[in-house]
């Protein structure tokens, strides 16, 4: 056990996943008693149930729901958790992940967390109990309970769409901070001085905003005007946000949106109000969705190679599931600003 009471980091599949025997030993009961407490709790005393429940909480153990439950068996199933499918930004990654896994004989099971850690925890409990060969997650922030379960399960994990030097296991993504700084510098370099941001209320978009604001301060610009909208973001949210921005600061000359859908809403509202884009208002989105190049004016945006994220995540999972070591556990795919007419 670690000094703070959390379980020490476990080795991955085949070398240290927490088992029912571990739970039983910690609870001070026989494995069959621990099994009864988990599967038929009415057959054990309240005291035993309490001990086993506490041991499960401390170890992060999740019962194996597979019939037979052989630890060495491969399920040929990979689970992925994404925030939402109502917005298309993650679809490239899901499609690429599905195709790359299918080529190697694996199937993908998909869940939506809705930008909610509690919902992610519930999904993880259901997923881990079915013992997939790998789990692909969006982002690097998980609840303490979720992290315990993932580390205890011994299942290969790939975190995506983010970057950190300390992933749970493996990671493929990019720096949201670098995106924010690059966009602020881009707008400054094109003569924009009164910047604004329309941002979804999810954690990754917030980090882009914070880096954007810090870079604007470094460049000596006035405070950035910000309107926050609920995630997942929508065209409607973008229209309303531009109205709020103009009411608070009618002299803004550039807007960075945390999604292309928000940017589409901002362009629509600007046209309704007779604001020239980019003449009066430069605009940058995030995601480079299919419609971005076909808007009028065409949308300048931040391009993330979602296909590459999906392919690399699949490669990580397959290599680990088939017993091969992964030499480079962190892959930074970077990003690019696609300059079009709107900025």
Residue 15 has a CB neighbour count (10 Å cut-off) of: 8
Mean pLDDT value across residues 33-47:
89
Q: Tell whether 12 is covered by a domain.
A: no
Lowest mean pLDDT among 58-72, 193-207, 272-286, 306-320: 58-72
Give the per-residue pLDDT at 11: 39
Q: Residue 60 pLDDT more than 90?
A: no
Give the per-residue pLDDT at 84: 83
Helix (H, G, I), strand (E, B) or coil at 302: strand
Overall residue count recorded for the chain in this entry: 343
Q: Tell whether 238 is covered by a domain.
A: yes
| 299 and 180 both lie in a single domain | yes
| 312 and 241 both lie in a single domain | no
At residue 322 the predicted structure's pLDDT band, cuts being 50, 70 and 90, is: confident
Give the per-residue pLDDT at 7: 42
Residue in this structure with the two tokens 């599931």, named with its chain if needed: 321
Mean pLDDT value across residues 188-192:
97
Q: Tell whether 8 is covered by a domain.
A: no
DSSP 202: S
| 180 and 290 both lie in a single domain | yes
CATH no. for residue 89? Answer: 3.40.50.2300
Q: Which domain holds residue 33?
A: 20-59
Give the per-residue pLDDT at 134: 95
Give the per-residue pLDDT at 176: 98
Residues 324 and 171 sit within 8 Å (Cβ to Cβ): no
Residue 214 CB contacts under 8 Å (≥ 6 apart), including other chains: 180, 181
- Percent of the chain exceeding pLDDT 90 equals 72
Number of domains composing the chain: 3
pLDDT digits (tens, 9 = 90+) for 216-249: 999 999 999 999 999 989 999 999 999 999 999 9
Q: Residue 279 pLDDT more than 80?
A: yes
Residue 199's H or E segment, with its range, is strand 195-200
Q: Cα dihedral sign for 159, 153, 130, 70? A: positive
Residue 145 has a CB neighbour count (10 Å cut-off) of: 16
Half-sphere exposure of 305 (CA within 13 A, CB side): 14
| 168 and 185 both lie in a single domain | no
């Amino acid at each position: 056990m670690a000094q703070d009471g959390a379980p020490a980091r476990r080795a991955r599949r085949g070398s240290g996943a927490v088992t029912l025997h571990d739970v039983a030993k910690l609870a001070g009961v026989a494995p069959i008693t621990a099994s009864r407490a988990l599967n038929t709790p009415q057959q054990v005393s309240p005291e035993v149930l309490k001990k086993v429940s506490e041991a499960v909480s401390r170890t992060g153990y999740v019962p194996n729901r597979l019939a037979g439950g052989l630890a060495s068996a491969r399920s040929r199933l990979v689970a992925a958790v994404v925030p939402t499918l109502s917005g298309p930004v993650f679809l490239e990654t899901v499609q690429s992940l599905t195709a790359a896994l299918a080529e190697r004989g694996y199937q993908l099971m998909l869940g939506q967390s809705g930008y909610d850690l509690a919902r992610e925890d519930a999904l993880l409990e259901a997923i881990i109990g079915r013992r997939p060969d790998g789990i692909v997650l969006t982002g690097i922030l998980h609840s303490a309970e979720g992290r315990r379960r993932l580390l205890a399960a011994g299942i290969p994990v790939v975190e995506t769409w983010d970057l950190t030097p300390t992933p749970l296991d493996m990671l493929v993504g990019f720096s949201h901070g670098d995106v924010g700084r690059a966009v602020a510098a881009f707008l400054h370099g094109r003569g924009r001085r009164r910047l604004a941001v329309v941002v979804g209320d999810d954690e990754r978009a917030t980090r882009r905003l914070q880096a954007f604001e810090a870079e604007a301060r470094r460049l000596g610009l006035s405070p950035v005007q910000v309107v926050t909208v609920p995630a997942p973001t929508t065209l409607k949210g973008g229209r309303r946000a531009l109205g709020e921005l103009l009411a608070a600061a009618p002299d803004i000359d550039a807007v960075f949106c945390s999604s292309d859908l928000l940017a589409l809403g901002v362009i629509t509202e600007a046209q309704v109000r007779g604001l020239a884009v980019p003449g009066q208002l430069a605009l940058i989105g995030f995601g480079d969705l299919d419609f971005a190049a076909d808007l009028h004016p065409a949308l300048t945006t931040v391009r993330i190679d979602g296909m590459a994220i999906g392919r690399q995540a699949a490669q990580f999972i397959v290599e680990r599931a088939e017993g091969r070591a992964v030499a480079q556990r962190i892959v930074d795919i970077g990003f690019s600003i696609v300059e079009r007419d709107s900025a």
